[in-house]
Structure 1
Amino acid sequence: MNILGISAFYHDSAACLIQDGRIVACAQEERFTRNKHDFSFPINAVNYCLKEGKIAVSDLDYVGFYEKPFLKFERILYSYLANFPLSYKAFLKALPFWLKEKIWIPHRIRKELGYEKDVLMIEHHLSHAASSFLVSPFREAAILTIDGVGEWAVATYGIGRENQIQLLKEQKFPHSLGLLYNAFTYYLGFQVNSDEYKVMGLAPYGRPVYTDLICRELVDLKEDGSFQLNMKYFPYDFSLSMMNQEFVDLFQTPPRLSSEPIQQRHMDLAASIQKVAEEIMLKMARHLCEEAGLPNLCLAGGVTLNCVANGRILRESGFKNFFIQPAAGDAGGAVGVAAYLYCTLLNNPRNFVWEHALWGPEFSDAEIEQFLKERNLPYQEASQAILIASAARLLTQGKVIGWFQGRTEFGPRALGNRSILADPRNSEMKDIVNKKIKFREEFRPFAPAILEERVSDYFEIDCPSPYMLLVAQVRPDKKDKIPAVTHVDGSARIQTVSQSENGLFYSVLKEFERLTGCPVLLNTSFNLKGEPIVCTPQDAYFTFIRSGLDYLIMGSYILDKKDIKEAEQFVEKKVLPEETKTITIR
């Protein structure tokens, strides 16, 4: 049985193919179009999934969409009518798009695919819930979903048992933690639905001095984690703005422009909203733990990409076991709807457990070598043993490597197949990679990738974290050993690597440990600021020559920047637009 799941038309469009209950392929459209957070119909991702599954559209038994457009349209109409005439301008702008495009999504899908059967749809937060529980290792678990907004729900909780999901309660729009965090993201000069992780990364530089003000004026928080926002400060339910002048007056400073320096008050605001978000999520999780009486928790929704809050939930909520799949945001909705159709709607027993994130396109050595030869590029071919030894040796010498191997990761994190790797022992490496290679803000931390069996030796955590979705403290005696991946507050966003999940990357870590005694590497996504993670050899090569990377290792081939004449013409000022320059903290 072939089931295709699709998420699209808001952000992070994606497709997922399930065959006989097992995931065969998942991919985000941005990796093909090179348009970050691409929300268009994911035709390239769909075509890839069909190719990977060796089927045509005519072989699909079911196609599912991750939300119900008419319910979402109902919410938009209700909100605009309830706030009329304040909503008049936004209503005029939104209505034609909805009437022309969004309420016709099933027709659009059939037309794009040439698919003649019905397109099945489930609610947005049910897709989130299914994307976690139905692929989790648990037969029974509590489920918590939190995001900006689906149709009406902004957060839900429920129970999953075997192949069934029951969502018991929901929090409704406009009282949304995701939208609250979005508002502060915008206020701090970052891009909404894209840069929330920057707010999280900036928070440790600040003091949460605005927390009481936020809780007094903006958020009425209850012990069970439910809350109401004071909509006096938020016009997003009737306009296209995240905040208003009352919000600005409350914090007594205008919104930061993206080109302006980050000052202490911005760090303090980031620390304050991060603390509030953590408290809300922790109260939700604690209440759910008491209500459900189960040891296992499945999380999903874009807000659950907040790995600092996840770390606190793991430590403080009362749950013993914990699962989040790596594409916890809207991209994962494609997984959720496909899994729900197979397991729940069709009442098939679950036969799949999510064990890695490597579901995207792969390129053979023959395809990579063809690309290299077409561009007449100098390279060294190596056996796998030599490749591993060379990568580890270069990293010990302070070189920074673009690492391109196997299938592309699904989700926002590079987990060892489309990665930039560096030595975490070098205290200057964080600034080198931020400024000369990624061309991004200097406050942003990097993640440590560590051998799974060594994680407790270096970090205050005793469970795997394979998808960089948990933050924990670096052990005091190890902070000076891995300064490049230790954040300013002594924390780290951890990736554990096991041999079963990613044998090649594990072997590089193991060889690096043999040479240095350190089982940790700095791992960050293989991309430049503002671009998606690389997908193809072409993407990898052009990112390599436009950045300060020293080496590119693709498949069995090693490229040395010094040998490539073409790289000489790429200077930072010639390549990157002004808005991507490093932001100075003052």
Structure 2
Amino acid sequence: MKKYYIGLSVTYHDPGLAIVDDNGEVLFAEATERYLQSKRAINCEPDQLNWISDVLDSYCSFPCELVIATNWRKKRPHYERLISGLGLLTAKGLLKKDLKKLRSPLENYKLHHMIACQHSSYLKTGLNLVRRLKEFHPDCPVSFLDFDHHLTHAAMASYSSPFSNAACAVIDSYGENGSMAFYRYHHGKLDRIHETRGVGSLGFFYMKITELCGFDWLKGEEWKVMGLAAYGKLDQKLYDLLKDTLAVDGFDFAVQPQHFFDLLEALNAYQQKEKDALKKAADLAFTGQYFFAELMTQILNHLKAVTGEDNLVLAGGCALNSSYNGQITERTGFKQAHIPSAPADDGTALGAAWLAYHRKPIKSDKPPQLLTPYLGSRISNEAINRLIQYNRSLDIRHLPDSLCEETAQLLASGAIVGWVQDRAEFGPRSLGNRSILADPRGSGMKDTINQHIKFREYFRPFAPSVLHEYGPEYFENYQESPYMDKTLTIKPTMRERIAATAHVDGTGRLQTVKEHWNPRFYRLISHFHALTGVPVLLNTSFNVMGKPLIHSLEDAVSVFLTTGLDALVIDDYLITKPHDRIH
């Protein structure tokens, strides 16, 4: 009987679901936010009741055996059990005063809310999945496994990498016992070197910086800090304050024990509330990012010294900091760095599934290879056929043989195109299958997309998707960035050529595009290159601010009709608005 390993990320934020078969192949992996169209899907189950049956029927062949694996240990940490017993993980509990303050940059009620949500989320693990199995496949054998949270991060990063050997760092906000864990990865085995304990957390401090800038980390707005930082400069007083508050000690964080709350009060004085907050927040963002990079460098250099490895795999929420990721090989002793397409908690669904699979003896001579990120849902043919049948307003052309050529011509003429192909990306970034694309040559394109497509702040940058063979021509110290995971410096001579993707500090969070990774996207950029001489397209996620990447055809058409997009491509179909035809 065939066996499938279903991984569930049951974290209260960024839940996800993954399916691995009994050969270790990834059949499906997707964040729940896509199906729900709710950013981060906070307090939502990964196995949505009205969705899970479709996923099972699409990727599992019944009769079969299922192993359900989760990304948190069933046995909860002592502190969580203690405060749960005291009633602090309830709405009334959050209102309690006169509690001993934790040495964390986040207030007690925020930490307890996170723990309460996580506690509740874990209790619902697999309920919807098993409910549907009992209904449709009552004889299906089911077993359950639970894994250490940071180990699932490490598995996602290591098993998705092209490395046989690597040092692994998980740098997060928190796990069962602390915020970080470190491993040696050797031919499919993960051996833990060290795990931190306590509330010292680089993730928490970045969340605090996000708050001080006037942004909301619950909405995932740490991205805004990275974008805004390029407009600021170092605030020496703030830097000294941060340095006094948190420091690295080997693999651990040293938190100032005696004057922590005085330092925290001084830090809170930087909170931005005025109308011109963004101007003042830029220095705060720059200083916070500068401090983050400094601590990350110290941690990773220590890991390098302990392991002696040349390869690094990095996971956890802090691995989403692409501004730093591009500096790793320059600032540390590591020669290569791999960050998975989904380094945050949605990715731990796949990590848990893989850990369950690797519990059995595995004999495989297959060399490690980079995992494709195109593991999510498809737009159904039925949905496309319905659009064709009932549409009365849009021009729809079927162009299976000339789609890339015609789309490239639209882009070269200044059109902004929604581009939807095959399976969705696993992870937060659009990589050429759920993308909004545009000509990168004119600097005004950045403002046009921010104002009329994304409806977001002026300081938010866009990514250059570059054909791999031209990467060294456009970027200093070029290194592959398959998942748009690294920010590199654009060569000064090239910044005007791709001005819409050059951030104010001359950098770009690039996506490396290779033909065997994504043939159609590669072909599209190649045709654009032939027309313009530029082997780069501006690429941003197919959504509007505050929403996740589009999931269904209806989502795509809704964004198309309610924004300034000029054209929409769905698989082989080119769709335009007839009142504003582009020739």
TM-score range, shorter chain: 0.7 to 0.9
User: What is the number of equivalent residue pairs in this alignment?
Assistant: 551
Whether 1:52 and 2:72 are equivalent positions in the alignment is no
- Which residue of 131, 155, 169 corresponds with 2:180? 155
Q: Displacement of 1:539 after TM fit?
A: 0.5
Q: Which residue of 1 aligns with 2:209?
A: 184
Q: Residues 112, 102 of structure 1: CA spacing in aligned structure 2 closer, same or farther, 3 A cutoff?
A: farther
Q: Which residue of 1 aligns with 2:93?
A: none
Q: Residues 297, 50 of structure 1: CA spacing in aligned structure 2 closer, same or farther, 3 A cutoff?
A: same
Whether 1:469 and 2:485 are equivalent positions in the alignment is yes
Aligned runs of 1:126-275 on 2, under 5 Å? 126-193=151-218, 194-210=220-236, 211-222=238-249, 224=250, 226-230=252-256, 247=264, 249-250=266-267, 252-256=269-273, 260-275=275-290
Q: Which residue of 1 aligns with 2:4?
A: 2
Residue 153 of structure 1 aligns to a residue whose secondary structure is coil
**Structure 2: segments with no counterpart, 5+ residues:** 89-95, 102-107, 135-139
Q: Displacement of 1:290 after TM fit?
A: 1.3
Q: Which residue of 2 aligns with 1:316?
A: 331
Amino acid at match of 1:203: A
| Greater displacement, 152-161 / 373-382 | 373-382
* Cα contact 1:379–1:557 (8 A) shared by 2: no
Amino acid at match of 2:315: A
Q: Displacement of 1:30 after TM fit?
A: 0.8
Q: Residues 96, 469 of structure 1: CA spacing in aligned structure 2 closer, same or farther, 3 A cutoff?
A: closer
Q: Which residue of 2 aligns with 1:105?
A: 125
Q: Which residue of 2 aligns with 1:382?
A: 398
* Cα contact 1:424–1:522 (8 A) shared by 2: yes
TM, length-normalised to structure 1: 0.87
Whether 1:329 and 2:332 are equivalent positions in the alignment is no
Distance across 2 between alignment mates of 1:103 and 1:143 = 30
Q: Residues 466, 246 of structure 1: CA spacing in aligned structure 2 closer, same or farther, 3 A cutoff?
A: same
- Which residue of 428, 431, 434 corresponds with 1:418? 434
Residue 421 of structure 1 aligns to a residue whose secondary structure is strand
Amino acid at match of 1:426: G
* Cα contact 2:68–2:144 (8 A) shared by 1: yes
Q: Which residue of 2 aligns with 1:431?
A: 447
Distance across 1 between alignment mates of 2:501 and 2:443 = 9
Q: Which residue of 2 aligns with 1:540?
A: 556
Aligned runs of 1:42-121 on 2, under 5 Å? 42-44=46-48, 46-56=52-62, 59-72=64-77, 74-75=79-80, 77=82, 85-86=98-99, 90=109, 102-103=122-123, 105=125, 110-111=130-131, 114=134, 117-121=142-146
1:458-489 per-residue CA deviation (whole Å, 9 max, x = no partner) reads: 01133321101011100111011111000111
Residue 6 of structure 1 aligns to a residue whose secondary structure is strand
* Cα contact 1:146–1:154 (8 A) shared by 2: yes
| Greater displacement, 211-220 / 141-150 | 211-220
Q: Which residue of 2 aligns with 1:346?
A: 360
Q: Displacement of 1:98 after TM fit?
A: 7.4
Q: Displacement of 1:2 after TM fit?
A: 0.9
Aligned runs of 1:294-305 on 2, under 5 Å? 294-305=309-320
Distance across 2 between alignment mates of 1:492 and 1:2 = 40
Amino acid at match of 2:45: F
Q: Residues 364, 96 of structure 1: CA spacing in aligned structure 2 closer, same or farther, 3 A cutoff?
A: closer
Q: Which residue of 2 aligns with 1:570?
A: none
Amino acid at match of 1:63: I
Q: Displacement of 1:228 after TM fit?
A: 2.3
* Cα contact 1:163–1:348 (8 A) shared by 2: no
* Cα contact 1:365–1:555 (8 A) shared by 2: no
* Cα contact 2:213–2:271 (8 A) shared by 1: no
* Cα contact 1:31–1:533 (8 A) shared by 2: yes
Q: Residues 15, 380 of structure 1: CA spacing in aligned structure 2 closer, same or farther, 3 A cutoff?
A: same
* Cα contact 1:378–1:564 (8 A) shared by 2: no
1:286-325 per-residue CA deviation (whole Å, 9 max, x = no partner) reads: 1111111111111111110101111111222111222121
Amino acid at match of 1:183: K
Q: Which residue of 2 aligns with 1:123?
A: 148
Q: Residues 2, 555 of structure 1: CA spacing in aligned structure 2 closer, same or farther, 3 A cutoff?
A: same
**Structure 1: segments with no counterpart, 5+ residues:** 235-243, 566-586
1:136-166 per-residue CA deviation (whole Å, 9 max, x = no partner) reads: 2211111011111111121111101112111
Q: Residues 522, 288 of structure 1: CA spacing in aligned structure 2 closer, same or farther, 3 A cutoff?
A: same
1:483-507 per-residue CA deviation (whole Å, 9 max, x = no partner) reads: 1000111111010111111111100
Amino acid at match of 2:184: I
Q: Which residue of 2 aligns with 1:572?
A: none
Residue 437 of structure 1 aligns to a residue whose secondary structure is helix
Q: Residues 48, 330 of structure 1: CA spacing in aligned structure 2 closer, same or farther, 3 A cutoff?
A: farther
* Cα contact 2:200–2:253 (8 A) shared by 1: yes
